[in-house]
Structure 1
Amino acid sequence: MTLNLCIGLAQLNPVVGDLEGNSRQVLAAARQAATAGVQVLVAPELVLWGYPPRDLLLLPRLLRQQQQALDALAPALPDNIRVLMGVVTPLADGRDCPLYNSAALVGNGCWRMVAAKRLLPSYDVFDERRYFRAGRRPGLVEIPLAGQHLRLAVTICEDLWADPRHPRQPTYDCDPVAELIPLAPDVMVNLSASPFAVGKQALRRELAAAAAARLGCPVVYVNQVGGNDELVFDGNSFVVDPQGAVALQLPSTRPATRWVHLELPDGRLPRGRMAQPAGSPMVVTSPQEELWKVLVLGLGDYARKCGFRSAVLGLSGGVDSALVACVAAAALGSRRLRGLLMPSSFSSPGSVADARALAQLLGMATTTVPILPLMEAFAQALVPALGKDPDGVTAENLQSRIRGTLLMAMANQEGRLLLSTGNKSELAVGYCTLYGDMNGGLAVIGDLYKTDVYRLCRWLNSPMARQQRRAAGLPTRGPLIPEDILNKPPSAELHPNQKDSDILPDYDVLDPILKQLVEQHHTPDQLIATGEDPALVQHIWSLLRRAEFKRRQAPPALKVSGRAFGMGWRMPIATC
């Protein structure tokens, strides 16, 4: 007998710790889906808490609030729908890690836990073993539908990543998908909170398609969307049929509720069929477009969830501040953005003109505060302590710290979020100044190498970015970032005729080596063995290690790579 199932995907943007507000999001999605005849609605991992809740999980009052939220949600749901959603399940046995990262089935006026996460990641940005205990058995729930029973397999995020044909680190002692095979589910769902990283979307679909083939049933993958601190969740939820074809694809970087009709005949050879045109097919976007959308989402959510309505940044006429200004204008609106120009006697006239040209294109307000009088006052004040005028790196860093102080003063006075404009290359080698250009509440491009910055800027200036520029309210005709900014040699302009290449390798040389050291865990010896110049590799390695104390004091950076400087980077400062 054929079972006709209408299953919905609620791709939501929760606020960490706002259990009541997140519950309202689930209810709104359920009401929307119920009007379309959805029988089962799937929401993301830990959707009531937002991911990652971290040490909020240690607060008993929030566990009580979860109970209250679920008790209120269950009777408020429409009668004809059940919701499968990520929750926390307390364990009262007195053992360590007294929680499950779990899924609850809510409907018909009640709720119950139906599955616990089997695989608990504790690598990179994840630290789930600090809070959770691993589930011991496969998650399978039978749901009565129209006189029949839907056999729904439930997995949670990492449970999907143990396919032995797609080896990943770390390895696990069990394979949750394999353990579901003898249970013959009709559909498998995966509740996820999977942060964005370049190239990760294709890997998720590959793993889901492999699971669908192993189980002989469709796989429904529902991911969180939105920015939470330095992590950005891109959504991109989907449904695949047993042959791995995408039956439904949800949009990237925005909340959405969609549904699909599935026919589940005897023998479990189901066919995925879209419920309506609103369930769009798989959309393939360029890596640059996806990166742009993630940065805009991450900045916008960071500001909104932290209570900021406006932002300020230093405009130097360089490529980094130009890109940050564009992202901020798209995320917050140019009227809520302010740029501070702080020229010194070493600033080129072109840099000031380029900064003003960019601000005019974006329609953002600027203020110019020359720092030469402050430089002279600092120098005069330091003479008694130093016995001479500050010079060399000391004088250069003073300029950066003067600028950082001015920016912080504006942020404090006007209640703005200060955006740091440093990139990953600079942060890696310490080419940045503590309490100066590192000041800020968020490093928007702190996980982009310098070469990535140029690549994204050139895409932003191209016709391929026109649709995203239009959607963000940015000008669509001609270059958005003046070509003079992109064509000039990178320079901090802290002494006459300074160029970054005076003390650093060209970024085309530096960035590939940094990427192998930082993201691929290669050692200097491994790089030298591949033919890299030994002196160059050792120099970069030394700079990387010596800058650890700076990175420890840097603002959070939006994570877009496989390994970013931040919550997943745990290097010691004092080491041999």
Structure 2
Amino acid sequence: MTVKVAISQINSIVGDLLGNAEKIFQAVHAAVKQGADIVVTPELSLVGYPPEDLLLRPAFYEKTAEVLLNLATKLQQFLNVHVLVGHPFEKNGLRFNAVSVLLNGSVSVTYCKSDLPNDMVFDEKRYFVESDQPVVFSVKGTKFGINICEDTWHPHAPSKARMAGAEVLLVPNASPFHMSRPDQRLEIMRANVAAQGMSLVYANLVGGQDELIFDGNSFVMRQDGALCASLKHCEEDLQVIVFDGATPMTGEITAVLSVETQIYQALVLGVRDYVTKNGFPHVLIGMSGGVDSALTLAIAVDALGAGKVRAVMMPSPYTADISLFDSRDMVQRLAVRYDEISINDCFASFNTTLEQEFSGLSADATEENIQARIRGTILMALSNKHGSIVLTTGNKSEMAVGYCTLYGDMAGGFAVIKDVAKTLVYRLCEYRNSLSLVIPERILSRAPSAELRPDQTDQDSLPPYDILDGIMRLYMEENKSRAEIVEAGYKIEDVERITHLIKINEYKRRQSPVGIRVTHRAFGRDWRYPITSKFRD
């Protein structure tokens, strides 16, 4: 007999139990219209992922249990439809990451996660205990097992499900995005699930949660490892797949996207969800005429619409005319509100105030940082007065080596390209311009500069960005030693300088706004180095 299985790739909001329950109900309603017998929602779909220390509060479990039972009652109008809902579960003083099958007004069965991830951005062992009990249920003669996310990244839990009789494995997920992650998921599922003779339904969460992006890209895989259906990238989606016994028929397969497309769409989703889920009415961006603020502005407009974005240019005595011309050009192309507020008078006042204190001392980075901090103060004043959130524009390369100013260009509420290396910034700008020419060409072709002193360029203080980014990637993302980086072809003096700068600027990064993660190791949840440390490798 045929069984119709729906993947409901939804965007849950952490802690919005009633809103998430309604979203699940609407998804089931839409799936039932297409004849679904089973509806699979993502991991912890009822409460959002990750709830973090909400999971330490007893009231959170009590409210979750209440909402889950109410949802089951509401779903009983869809007779004989099995709905998989992810939720935290407490029993006998133990807490689990669970999935319950809601059927005809009640909880039919509950599966508890077997393998709890405790690396990278995950710390589930802080909250949950593991279970080793497989769950298998039958629909129209086909036996369906359940695993949750990390379970399928190891062979143990899928093997237990198979031994318990599972022919199809249903896998709710909250697998966050980073470059190469979608392809990696397919490889792992082929190795740990399909290799055991089971087909697979992989239902992944979509949406932004603080620095994490959940990209969706849910899929269905046959027993031979062939992909037979896939859902959208960084969008809510629903697809119903027909199974002939345990074998899925071919459904819709979404087009393969370039890396630049995947990352850009993830950044757009991250901005949209952070701003809207937290209730900010507008965003503010400090323009510089450079590539970083240009990319941030384009992402913000694509995420929120031009009407919710305001750009502010704050020229100093060192701002080049072309920076003003290019900023005016870009905001006109995007039709956003644009204002110019000169910092000349403020800068002169600071210099006068500090004249005696600085007497006899040469100008240095102090005066440069004063300009950046004046700009940060202006942006935060506008934010306070109008309720907008400031989007900072610093990239990963700058954050790595401290080429940024505390309480200056680091001042703000959300760091859009915090995990985007400078070389990738240019690639993303080129991608965005391939859709429509919103970033003036001169912004992409001129040498990058902070414009805080006469004739300044970034390369006055830093190695070329292709070198900086290559060393940063090997050291920070790949955990390579200095010797291994030198063996990869980089000069020892560049390696020593960049790795030293990464170490000594941890105190800055700890004070930076949360930002979107797009690599497998970002400064944030992935990177937990001490500020105070005497260790040198």
Classify the TM-score, shorter chain.
over 0.9
Residue from 274, 277, 301 that aligns with 1:302? 274
After superposition, residues 469-480 of structure 1 pair within 5 angstroms as 476=436, 479-480=437-438
For residue 131 of structure 1, report the CA deviation from its aligned partner. 0.2
CA contact (8 A) 2:389 2:412 kept: yes
Amino acid at match of 1:222: A
1:354 equivalent in alignment to 2:326: yes
**SS of residue in 1 equivalent to 2:146:** strand
The residue that corresponds to 1:493 in the other structure is: 451
CA contact (8 A) 1:382 1:390 kept: no
Q: What TM-score do you get using the length of structure 1 for normalisation?
A: 0.90
**SS of residue in 2 equivalent to 1:563:** coil
1:273 equivalent in alignment to 2:249: yes
Q: What TM-score do you get using the length of structure 2 for normalisation?
A: 0.97
1:88 equivalent in alignment to 2:101: no
**SS of residue in 2 equivalent to 1:201:** helix
CA contact (8 A) 1:209 1:241 kept: no
1:178 equivalent in alignment to 2:136: no
After superposition, residues 392-411 of structure 1 pair within 5 angstroms as 392-411=364-383
The residue that corresponds to 1:57 in the other structure is: 55
For residue 144 of structure 1, report the CA deviation from its aligned partner. 4.6
> Could you tell me how far apart the structure 2 residues matched to 1:212 and 1:551 are?
40
* CA offsets 1:405-452 (integer angstroms, 9 cap, x no match): 001111111111100000000000000000000011111000000000
Residue from 116, 120, 145 that aligns with 1:153? 145
1:162 equivalent in alignment to 2:143: no
**SS of residue in 2 equivalent to 1:522:** coil
1:142 equivalent in alignment to 2:137: yes
**SS of residue in 2 equivalent to 1:251:** coil
RMSD in angstroms over aligned alpha carbons? 1.4
> Could you tell me how far apart the structure 2 residues matched to 1:541 and 1:451 are?
18
Amino acid at match of 2:168: V
For residue 487 of structure 1, report the CA deviation from its aligned partner. 0.5
CA contact (8 A) 1:379 1:390 kept: no
1:251 equivalent in alignment to 2:209: no
> Could you tell me how far apart the structure 1 residues matched to 2:361 and 2:315 are?
21
> Could you tell me how far apart the structure 2 residues matched to 1:272 and 1:120 are?
29
For residue 388 of structure 1, report the CA deviation from its aligned partner. 5.9
> Could you tell me how far apart the structure 2 residues matched to 1:212 and 1:52 are?
25
Residue from 1, 6, 9 that aligns with 1:8? 6
For residue 314 of structure 1, report the CA deviation from its aligned partner. 0.5
Residue from 492, 495, 500 that aligns with 1:542? 500
CA contact (8 A) 1:371 1:402 kept: yes
1:117 equivalent in alignment to 2:113: yes
Residue from 315, 322, 328 that aligns with 2:294? 322
The residue that corresponds to 2:423 in the other structure is: 451
For residue 70 of structure 1, report the CA deviation from its aligned partner. 1.1
Amino acid at match of 2:333: L
After superposition, residues 413-424 of structure 1 pair within 5 angstroms as 413-424=385-396
Amino acid at match of 1:16: V
The residue that corresponds to 1:533 in the other structure is: 491
The alignment covers a number of residue pairs equal to 532
For residue 217 of structure 1, report the CA deviation from its aligned partner. 2.5
* Structure 2: runs of 5 or more not aligned: none
1:218 equivalent in alignment to 2:199: yes
* Structure 1: runs of 5 or more not aligned: 164-174, 265-269, 467-475
Residue from 11, 15, 18 that aligns with 2:16? 18
> Could you tell me how far apart the structure 2 residues matched to 1:106 and 1:179 are?
23
The residue that corresponds to 2:126 in the other structure is: 130
> Could you tell me how far apart the structure 1 residues matched to 2:217 and 2:483 are?
39
Amino acid at match of 2:484: Q
The residue that corresponds to 1:429 in the other structure is: 401
For residue 210 of structure 1, report the CA deviation from its aligned partner. 2.8
Amino acid at match of 1:571: Y
**SS of residue in 1 equivalent to 2:99:** strand
CA contact (8 A) 1:380 1:389 kept: no
Greater CA drift, 227-236 or 376-385? 376-385
> Could you tell me how far apart the structure 1 residues matched to 2:520 and 2:139 are?
42
The residue that corresponds to 1:332 in the other structure is: 304
**SS of residue in 1 equivalent to 2:201:** strand
> Could you tell me how far apart the structure 1 residues matched to 2:103 and 2:357 are?
72
CA contact (8 A) 1:432 1:438 kept: yes
1:236 equivalent in alignment to 2:217: yes
Greater CA drift, 234-243 or 213-222? 213-222
The residue that corresponds to 1:473 in the other structure is: none
Q: Percent identity?
A: 39
CA contact (8 A) 2:194 2:200 kept: no
* CA offsets 1:161-208 (integer angstroms, 9 cap, x no match): 125xxxxxxxxxxx2122333223121011100011011101111222
> Could you tell me how far apart the structure 2 residues matched to 1:406 and 1:390 are?
27
Evaluate the alpha carbon distance shift between residue 67 and residue 553 of structure 1 in structure 2; reply closer, same or farther with a 3 A threshold. Answer: same
For residue 20 of structure 1, report the CA deviation from its aligned partner. 1.0
* CA offsets 1:386-416 (integer angstroms, 9 cap, x no match): 4468821110000000000001111111111
* CA offsets 1:326-345 (integer angstroms, 9 cap, x no match): 00000011111111110111
The residue that corresponds to 2:414 in the other structure is: 442
For residue 298 of structure 1, report the CA deviation from its aligned partner. 0.5
